[in-house]
Chain A
Amino acid sequence: MNKVAIVGTGQTKFSKENKNTEKLLFESANNCIRSISNYDSNKIEGVLVSTNDNSKYLGAILSETIGIEPKISHSIEHLCSSGTNAIISAYSYIASGLLDTVLVSGADSATNPGQVLEWDKSRGNFEHPIYWASMLTKSHKRKFQTTEEELAIVSAKNHKQAMDNPFAYSNEPRTISEVMNSKQITDDLRVLDCSRSCSGSSSILLASEEKAKAISDQPIWIIGIGQKTTAASFTKNILEEIKSTRISADLAYKMAKIESKDIDVAEVHDAFSVCELMAISELGIAPKDKSGEFVRDLFNTENRMINPRGGLIGAGHPLGATGISQTIEITNQLQDKSEKRQISNAKTGLIHNMSAAGTSSSIMVLEN
């Protein structure tokens, strides 16, 4: 298999206002191409678009808008993890030798579909993600004695970290007490425990080893990939775990020939506060019954190792763009370009992106 690297990145600011998906895609794709000095965009051989938007033919539309004629262009949808699924598809095109450079652009508008999976009959009239999140949270509290304060710290930490992310939808700080006193949605979930649907777009350019070395003096290599889908129905989950994440992590670590202790920095899918606690446990970063304590220590010591850009809670969650933004953050960290968010001496980073209550997970390991 050919080696694959990230050689360019571009983003738009996330916001709560509705925006046109095609325009968002163009803006981040344009920023991505401009991030590479003297790059001839006509050399891009593939264009993949990740989105939950119902618009058709977006791969071709984006290609025409940026003025290129790629060999392959199409869209990829996989709910909240559409972005990493698109990157991994692009990786496969390059690793197989079919293409040598692929632009991956993700975008969604704040009211795009994708939060509710109509197919899932088992959710009854409790379709919205807040209900499965309440089940996971209640179960985590019951099983691991997780406290309301520990859950609030996840949100306070990620909001604080998002203050230094110029692309986050909000740069407002939120104290632990503000999170704990925010509007109660259910007995187990407050509004500040939830990520918000946003408008926004992110783009990334992937290249084969030969092209990467010609394009970039700081290519970031994708060295591990793990993916697993266990179901589509939320109710087939075991509440205390995210099996798809655990399996994906094992696969990614094996491919990268690393262990969880080798991870210097990670973007994890904190769709809700409890998801960050569950994710870091399934990734092997913290024990299941110590995940709350682990995050408290990060917060108290201002260690930004988990979700330095603010995660989904702090930065916002434009579904199709999220996985790509997570990947851009880890890329920037490994290039030592994250400014105030920078983790010192980061060599190995991880991206964890998932869909529909963790019924599907995608994990990538990057290295500089």
Chain B
Amino acid sequence: MKFFEKQLEQGVFQICYCKNCNNTIWPPKEICHMCHEKTDWKKSANIGKIIEFSRSESTYFGLIEIDDGIRVLGDISSRSIPEIGQVVKMSVSFNSKPYYSFIVENN
């Protein structure tokens, strides 16, 4: 398993970026595609906003934008119907595939 997945397993979403040109690299890779320097990692702030959402059975899921414009699909916990632009807090895990979970802040 690679660093990104190992860190997800530990509950940490690592953002891959280039120290040379400060470009965020998503999905993560070892070399920056802009300046071809080696990339580095920084921890996500674990905060995102809802871009779009739907519901499967009783679970809301949606497209969430986190750090530096990175967008992922994940489940959304909310006591009421989520709203576009709503701020969500992220938690992550890994079990053969990534799991991104979001909870609506001030829920």
Instruction: Tell me the A residues contacting B by CB distance below 8 Å.
Output: 118-127, 131-132, 134-135, 137-139, 142, 185-189, 233-236, 239
Does residue B99 face the partner (Cβ distance < 8 Å to A)? Answer: yes
Nearest first, the 3 closest Cβ-Cβ pairs linking A and B are: A235-B71, A134-B54, A126-B73
Interface size range on B against A: 20 to 34
Q: Is the CB of A124 within 8 A of B99?
A: yes
Neighbouring A residues of B74 by C-beta, 8 Å: 124, 126
- Report Cα–Cα, A236/B71, bound state, in Å: 7
Least CB distance from B75 to A in Å reads: 8
- Report Cα–Cα, A122/B70, bound state, in Å: 9
- Smallest CB gap from A130: residue in B: B56
- Smallest CB gap from B59: residue in A: A186
Q: Is the CB of B63 within 8 A of A235?
A: yes
Which of A125, A138, A234 lies in contact with B97, CB distance below 8 A? A125
- Using A123-B73, A138-B52, A186-B55 as known contacts, list a sample of 10 further A-B pairs with CB atoms less than 8 Å apart, ordered by residue number in A: A119-B27, A121-B72, A122-B27, A124-B100, A125-B98, A126-B61, A185-B56, A187-B54, A235-B63, A235-B73
Q: Is the CB of A122 within 8 A of B73?
A: yes
Least CB distance from A182 to B in Å reads: 16
Least CB distance from B3 to A in Å reads: 13
Which of B51, B53, B56, B97 lies in contact with A124, CB distance below 8 A? B97
Neighbouring B residues of A234 by C-beta, 8 Å: 73
Least CB distance from B27 to A in Å reads: 5
Neighbouring A residues of B4 by C-beta, 8 Å: 121
Which of B52, B62, B72, B84 lies in contact with A122, CB distance below 8 A? B72
Q: Is the CB of B97 within 8 A of A239?
A: no
Which of B26, B54, B72, B98 lies in contact with A138, CB distance below 8 A? B54
A-contacting residues, B21-79, CB 8 Å:
26-28, 51-56, 61-63, 70-75
- Smallest CB gap from A137: residue in B: B54
- Report Cα–Cα, A132/B73, bound state, in Å: 9
Neighbouring B residues of A124 by C-beta, 8 Å: 72-74, 97-100
- Report Cα–Cα, A138/B74, bound state, in Å: 16
